[in-house]
Amino acid sequence: MLEIDGSFGEGGGEILRTSLSLAVVTKTPFRIFNIRSKRSKPGLQRQHLAAVKIMKQLCNAETRGDFLGSQELEFTPKDTLDEGEITYDVGSAGSVTLISVSVIPVIINKKIRITLIGGTDVPKAPTIDYIRLVYMKILELIGIHGEVKVIKRGHYPRGGGIISIENFRGYPNKFNITEFGKLEKILGIAHVSSLPLNIAEREKDSAIKILSNISNNIDIELDIRDNESEGTGITLAAYGKSIIGADSLGEKGKRAEKVGEEAARTLITELNSGAAVDSHMSDMLMIYAALYGGIFSGAKLTKHAITNYEIIKKFIKNRSIEIEGNSPFIFKAL
């Protein structure tokens, strides 16, 4: 059984989520201790516990320590589920996108549909539109296709968002994503829920004003919703040979123009890195490179990325896995 120190490196929930994904795929049991021990609320919170419970169902795992607040977990995967439906309510505005990212590698080529209830657009997590505009498009580049549907948006602190993930198929081979190439277009979604329509319009206009300096092919659509948890935000995706994304969420006292500007400037910074994928996608793409063999260039070697790299090496022993450089960096799993 692998022993993993949950306080290592970044010391957050990503250590747990990556461990769960790779444990199920590689059928490797693990014990993680000091889970989020340096956080203000240490141990398994609702979002983390949701990932554990869903993964437990997906592989009939034997577990110990899977309860709220637990700082130690033993997880022993058994027989992987080939088909079925799972619905899980996080019970808070905990990010359903982070849970999705941990689950998707496990359900490829299986007839499994998962419905998640919680936060779709919350701080310190990829927005659901980032998953649709960037993450899913990167997966398509490496040969994986699937469906992520937004049934209802959920913002902090109310949550209540609903998404479904299903029909993931693919037989990816070794991939090479090291060049972004020429910028072809920029797509985006500015959304607002149970707030005035002009907030999303102002976010869009602010982003376009900045992005027009680098492209004349910009298409940002509006997603206006009523009777859902209050919130707003914008997600942008630049398309070339690869896809680079950025997002920004609204908050009380933050002008809509600032939200649009923030996302646009972040996108430009990521593009100027010269990498093929942005800082956030770098973390998430590592698992696929390690499982299927791949090379990619990431915009910035964050603490999250370094931590993920070390965890992945514990589970994947049949490949040479290394990182070269810093900002940008090259991840190789051969």
| Catalytic positions, written as ranges | 304
Q: What DSSP state is assigned to residue 132?
A: I
Phi, psi of 247 (to 5 degrees): -150, 165
| Mutual angle of helices 96-107 and 13-26, in 10-degree steps | 20
Distance CA 292, CA 299 (A): 21
Tokens encoding 215: 């492209």
Q: What DSSP state is assigned to residue 125?
A: S
| Overall size of the chain counted in residues | 334
What is the helix (H) or strand (E) element at residue 303, kind and residue range? helix 303-315
C-alpha distances in angstroms, 139 versus 175, 210, 254? 11, 28, 33
261 close to 207: Cβ distance less than 8 angstroms: yes
Q: Are strands 329-333 and 294-298 parallel, antiparallel or unpaired?
A: antiparallel
